[in-house]
Each structure stands twice: as C-alpha cells, then as structure tokens.
C-alpha cells in the first residue's frame, strides 16, 4: 500500500536503486519512467508483461486534461543503447487493450504523456538532443518540425510511418485561425556531392485526392510542416463604441481597415438632433501618449514653481516673506492630483462621416469611442471674471461679449491672452492684433460656436510664489473641465 500523501516514485526510490545496483552493466535494468500527466510521475520497477495502461494505473492514473490522442514511448536498444520512439494513443489503447497502442513495456522504456497546455517542445528537448547526437554521419536525425497555426509548435521525434496527420496530432491539432485547405511542407534534399537543398511541397488538408499530397503523406527526417493562418484573420477584433445621437448606438466589431464613415453608416447614420461639431472622438493610444506628457509635466512642476518663486518679479519679497512663500508653494504642490488624459482627437465629423471625404476620414483602432451630443445652446466662461457662468448662445455674440456678460475681467486677468476651447476640441486665441513694433494692442473679438468654453487666465508676473501656485491649481482645475465632461459622457 502507498501513502497517498507522498509521491509513489519517492516511496519506491530505494527499491529502484537496489534493482539498478543488482543489474549487470551490459543489461538494462527492469525499470521504466513515466513523465507528464499521470498522478505520480517518476521511475517504477518493471514486472513481467506490464503494458502501457498497466503502468499508467500503477502511477495513479491519468491526470485531468491529458491528451488521449498522442503519447510517446521512448525505447532504448539493449545493445546499441540508441533511443527510438513509438507513437501511442490512449484512446486506441482503451479500445483495444491487446493492440499495438497498448504494448508490453521493456526495461529502460520511458513514457511521455501530454496535456493541452504544457510545452511539448520543452518536455521533449532532452530526447531530441539524444536523437541528434546518436545519428551517424551520412544519415539525417529522425526529427520532424511543425509550426504556425497549431497548438504546440516545435520539434518532434519522427516515428516509423509517421504521416502529416500524425504530426498535426502530435502538435495538439490545429487552432481556430488555421487555414484548413492547404499547408506547406519543406523537405531537405542532399545530392551525391553532399550539396543540400530545400524542396517546398504543397499539402492538401482536405479529402484524400490521390493525385495531390495530403494528410497521408509519409514524412521524412527534418521535414518541416507549416500551417498557415486564415486570410485576413483577426484574433482580437477591433471594438468601437458609438454613443449618443446615432440611430443605433452601441459597440461594434469592425474589420482591419474600417473607417469612421463606414461605422457610422453601419450604425444607421446620425439622428436629426445630432450636433456634429460638438462630437467627442477618443482613442486609447492617444490617451496613453497624453498621459505620459502630463505625468512628465507634473514631475517638472515643482521645479518650475520654485524657479518662478526665486525669479525677479514685482515686489515679490514684500508681498510674502521668502521662507513662507517657499513653504506655501511646496505645500500646494504636494496637494496636486495628477491630471488624467482623455485621449481626445479633434476631427471634422461632418466631412469625415457625412461627406466621407478621404482626407478627413479616420481609420479606426480598437477601443475608439465616438460621442455625438444633442444640439448645444450655451457658452461657458471660466477664470478671472467676476461671475463665471454659462450663457445662452446667440449668433450676434462673440467671445469677449460673453466675457463682459460674466461681469468682465478681474484686475489680475490677462485679457489679451483669453482663449477658447471650441465644442469640437479646437483651441482658439484672441491674440491677433499687433502694432508695427510687435506689441499686442487689443484682443480680437472672435466668433465662438455653441458648446464652447472661454478661459480668462491669470497674469502670472504680478503675483508672488504662493499666488502663482494657486493659479496653477486653478488653471489645472479649469482645464480638467473638458476632460471631466468626456468622462461623464462615456460613463467613466
């Protein structure tokens, strides 16, 4: 009886060592080894008339998930000590217990059992090396290779009578994306003058046409079978999310070269309430690059604020004591929360998805999202104004009109540096009126679109370090408004 909590091979190790010590050197000890997916792997004493299935039973039985269509028996010649292999199928052994797939084992035999996940090439590597080392000059090692769209690519022992179908079975079978019509077989050729060449053969994987090479083709040493992938196969299809004013919103799987124009047509086009100019298009790759930039800015922000604090300015030392300013600056820095990028791309949705102009259309990537809002009817004003708020959009009002409707600019505002973030994400500046000496005379009252946000920044040169730091927080907060709106639209 065996202790169920201890490896059977460990419990038998003393007996195995004793049998080896008693066996003459010229003979193979009556010992077998079982590797792979049985309950208890290891070396076992071999009794007379032990068959393949008997050995598995003595090793505790098969493990869950074992491959029943491909196993190997490694057998050592008792005289030359050369290694050779025999293919066994557990399913056939169970069907016919006295057949070829359930042979009587011999001293020195090694059984290899596989499952669907572990690397077969790695398990067989020592055996493959042995086959190569024992091959004499003038012969080719009995090895075949399979690669491509199979579960387990790699080198396998070439067993007697091995066919293309057997090699595919040894590799665990073809995977989902495998092209099932044809495969390629490359074969080494060596002429009388020992010049090596490679012959490429087409293998039909369909039917048994005697006029073409197929699954029943007998393999030769160093044959290499290559299983191709289905044309245009996509293992991880691209998924695009459409939200808002399209006829059929939702998540769509798209082909490799699908564009914005095509996916909008698939979704039934836009509704009558769609505000195309205010659409938000986001992309994951863009978001990652933006986040890298934001993270880099945040890392440099403390140095920047310190430089501004010690740089010349208007009465900085009288506004706030130097040491107090430094302490307050770094206290505020420590409270900053790194901004999260949105990955928004500015697009002309009308020309891309309605007119479908090639120069404006966008080839989609996995994870792209498009939000189309309803018609917007407001313009927001934030920053250094007396009453930051939103106003009803009117065609007869321009940027600075909305600023004045918010009470006008405060004393520390930089009126000439006002900028506008349009509903489509474009940024516009009012800085466009210069004198002949290059000095800014006055900001230009430019047109804005519904859904725009007008930012009135703070004049940095007229404040001390602490005020400057707080203005950065204020600016970062306001810049995050558009990011937060994107998060809200997509439910993040």
Residue pair 443/431 in contact by the 8 Å Cβ criterion: yes
pLDDT at 490: 45
pTM score of the predicted model = 0.61
pLDDT at 333: 54
pLDDT at 233: 79
CATH for the stretch 1-118 = 3.10.560.10
pLDDT at 434: 43
Tens of pLDDT, residues 213-249: 889 999 999 999 999 998 877 767 889 999 999 999 9
Is the domain defined by 376-457 classed in CATH 3.30.1490.20? no
Q: Which CATH number fits domain 128-233: 3.40.630.10, 3.10.560.10, 3.40.50.10360, 3.40.30.10?
A: 3.10.560.10
Q: What CA–CA distance (Å, rounded) separates 355 from 441?
A: 41
Torsion angle, alpha carbons of 347, 349, 352, 353, to 10: 150
pLDDT at 425: 86
pLDDT tens-digit profile, the chain (492 residues): 556 666 888 888 888 889 988 889 888 999 999 999 998 899 999 999 999 999 999 898 998 889 999 999 999 999 899 999 999 999 999 999 999 999 999 999 999 999 988 899 999 999 999 999 999 988 889 999 999 999 999 999 999 999 999 999 999 999 999 999 999 999 988 776 777 788 999 999 987 666 678 899 999 999 999 999 988 777 678 899 999 999 999 999 988 889 999 999 999 999 999 999 999 999 998 888 888 887 777 777 656 655 655 555 555 454 444 444 555 555 555 555 556 788 889 999 999 999 999 999 999 999 999 999 998 899 999 989 999 999 999 999 998 899 999 999 988 888 888 889 888 888 888 775 444 444 444 567 788 889 999 999 887 555 554 455 555 555 544 444 444 444 444 444
Strands 419-421 and 110-115: unpaired
pLDDT at 311: 57
Q: What CA–CA distance (Å, rounded) separates 304 from 38?
A: 65
DSSP string, 2-57: --TTS-HHHHTHHHHHHHHHHS-TTS--SEEEEEESBSS-EEEE--TT-BHHHHHH
Sign of the alpha-carbon torsion through 215, 216, 220, 221: positive
pLDDT at 437: 41
Sign of the alpha-carbon torsion through 339, 343, 346, 350: negative
CA–centroid distance for 341 within its chain:
20
Instruction: Express the helix, strand and coil content of the chain in percent, nearest 5 each.
Output: 30, 25, 45
Q: Tell me the two tokens of residue 69.
A: 């269509």
CA-to-CA separations, 446 to 336, 395, 397, 398, 479, in angstroms, rounded:
34, 12, 9, 6, 21
Closest listed residue to residue 419, CA positions, set 386, 465, 458: 458
pLDDT at 315: 52
pLDDT at 426: 86
pLDDT at 310: 55
Closest listed residue to residue 354, CA positions, set 244, 270, 255, 253: 270
Segments making up each domain of the chain, as ranges = 1-118, 128-233, 376-457
pLDDT at 485: 46
CA-to-CA separations, 477 to 208, 222, 339, 438, in angstroms, rounded:
71, 66, 9, 32
pLDDT at 442: 57
Tens of pLDDT, residues 64-92: 889 999 999 999 999 899 999 999 999 99
Q: What CA–CA distance (Å, rounded) separates 40 from 331?
A: 63
């Amino acid at each position: 009886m065996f202790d169920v909590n201890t490896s059977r091979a460990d419990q038998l190790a003393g007996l195995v060592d004793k049998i080896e010590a008693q066996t003459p050197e010229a003979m193979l000890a009556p010992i077998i080894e079982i590797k792979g997916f049985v309950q208890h792997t290891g070396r076992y004493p071999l009794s007379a008339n032990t068959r393949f299935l008997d050995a598995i039973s003595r090793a505790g039985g098969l493990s869950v998930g074992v491959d029943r269509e491909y196993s190997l028996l490694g057998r050592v010649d008792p005289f030359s000590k050369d290694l050779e292999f025999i293919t066994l199928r557990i399913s056939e052994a169970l069907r016919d217990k006295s057949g070829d797939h359930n042979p009587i084992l011999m001293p020195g035999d090694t059984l290899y059992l596989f499952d669907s996940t572990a690397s077969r090439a790695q398990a067989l590597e020592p055996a493959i090396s042995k086959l190569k080392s024992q091959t004499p000059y003038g012969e080719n090692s009995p090895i075949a290779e399979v690669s491509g769209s199979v579960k387990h690519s790699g080198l396998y022992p070439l067993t007697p009578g091995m066919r293309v179908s057997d090699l595919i079975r040894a590799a665990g079978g073809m995977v989902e994306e495998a092209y099932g019509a044809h495969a390629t077989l490359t074969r080494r050729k060596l002429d009388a003058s020992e010049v090596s060449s490679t012959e490429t053969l087409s293998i039909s994987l369909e039917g048994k046409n005697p006029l073409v090479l197929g699954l029943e083709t007998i393999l030769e040493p160093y044959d290499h079978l290559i299983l191709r992938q289905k044309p245009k196969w996509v293992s991880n299809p691209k998924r695009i999310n459409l939200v808002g004013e399209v006829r059929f919103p939702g998540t769509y799987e798209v082909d490799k070269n699908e564009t914005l124009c095509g996916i909008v047509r698939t979704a039934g086009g836009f509704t009558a309430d769609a505000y195309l100019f205010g659409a938000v298009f986001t992309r994951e790759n863009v978001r990652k690059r933006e986040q890298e930039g934001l993270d880099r800015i945040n890392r440099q922000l403390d140095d920047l604020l310190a430089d501004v604090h010690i740089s010349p300015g208007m009465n900085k030392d009288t506004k706030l004591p130097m040491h107090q300013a430094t302490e307050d600056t770094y206290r505020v820095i420590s409270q900053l929360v790194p901004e999260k990028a949105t990955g928004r791309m500015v697009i002309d949705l009308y020309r891309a998805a309605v007119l479908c102009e090639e120069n404006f259309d966008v080839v989609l990537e996995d994870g792209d999202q498009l939000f189309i809002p309803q018609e917007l009817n407001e313009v927001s004003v934030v920053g250094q104004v007396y009453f930051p708020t939103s106003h009803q959009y009117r065609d007869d009002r321009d940027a600075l009109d909305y600023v004045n409707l918010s009470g006008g600019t405060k004393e520390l505002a930089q009126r000439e540096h006002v900028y506008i973030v349009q509903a489509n994400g474009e940024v516009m500046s009012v800085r466009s009126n210069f004198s002949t000496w290059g000095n800014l005379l006055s900001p230009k009252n430019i047109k804005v679109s519904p859904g725009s946000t007008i930012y009135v920044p703070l004049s940095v040169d007229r404040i001390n370090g602490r005020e400057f730091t707080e203005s950065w927080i204020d600016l970062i907060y306001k810049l995050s408004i558009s990011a937060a709106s994107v998060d809200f639209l997509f439910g993040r």
